[in-house]
Amino acid sequence: MAHFSSADEIYASLGACLKAAATDPDNARDFQRVGTIVRLETVAPKAQITMKLEADQPVEVEFGESKLRPAAILAMPGDTAQGFWLGEINIITALAQSKMKAQGPVAVILKLVPLVNVVAPLYRLQQQGGAVSEEVAEEEIAAEEQVVAEEEIAAQEEVAAEEAPQS
């Protein structure tokens, strides 16, 4: 069964978490490092989250149709978006397996990966319907950052090995 049944559910859950994380002054710099406008699209159900993540500019997050023109678009089913932002799905593997489709510069798309470290712990808490102390949240974020970093290194090595000429 699909995790999301409508665009409204995506906006109320994933969208609200992304907006809260991106507009939190403690996280704004992490999001601004992306340096451009990015659109996340889900295809089942159909939804759009457009994020203006430009350096030295206020972060903006819009749901649905947007007049903001994205430099990059990352499209996937709602369940894949759920897993990606929870830190359970590796972007490189998902792209290689066609679970995600990317349009725009790869460098921009890859700048989204570190944001998983910020969003995943918050999103996980939201999904559990609770909150934890700041100290526990910081520990969870640090642990998540380590896991994601290790997964990204492994995925990059896997892609490099697949692309390397075989003798």
Confidence of residue 136 (pLDDT cuts 50, 70, 90): very low
Asked if 63 and 15 touch (Cβ cutoff 8 Å), the reply is yes
Query: Is pLDDT of 100 > 60?
Result: yes
R_g (Cα) of the chain, nearest Å: 16
The 10 Å Cβ neighbour count of residue 100 is 21
Measured between alpha carbons, how far is residue 7 from residues 4, 37, 64, 78 in Å? 8, 21, 8, 9
DSSP-assigned states of every residue in 3-17 = S-SSHHHHIIIIIHH
Token pair, residue 30, equals: 């992490």
Report the DSSP pairing between strands 72-76 and 36-43: parallel
Residue 146, pLDDT above cutoff 70: no
> Which has more pLDDT, 145 or 98?
98
| HEC sequence for 63-111 | ECCCCCCCCEEEEECHHHHHHHHCCCCCHHHHHHCCCCEEECCHHHHHC
Given a cut of 60, is residue 29 above it in pLDDT? yes
Range with the poorest average pLDDT among 32-36, 101-105, 160-164: 160-164
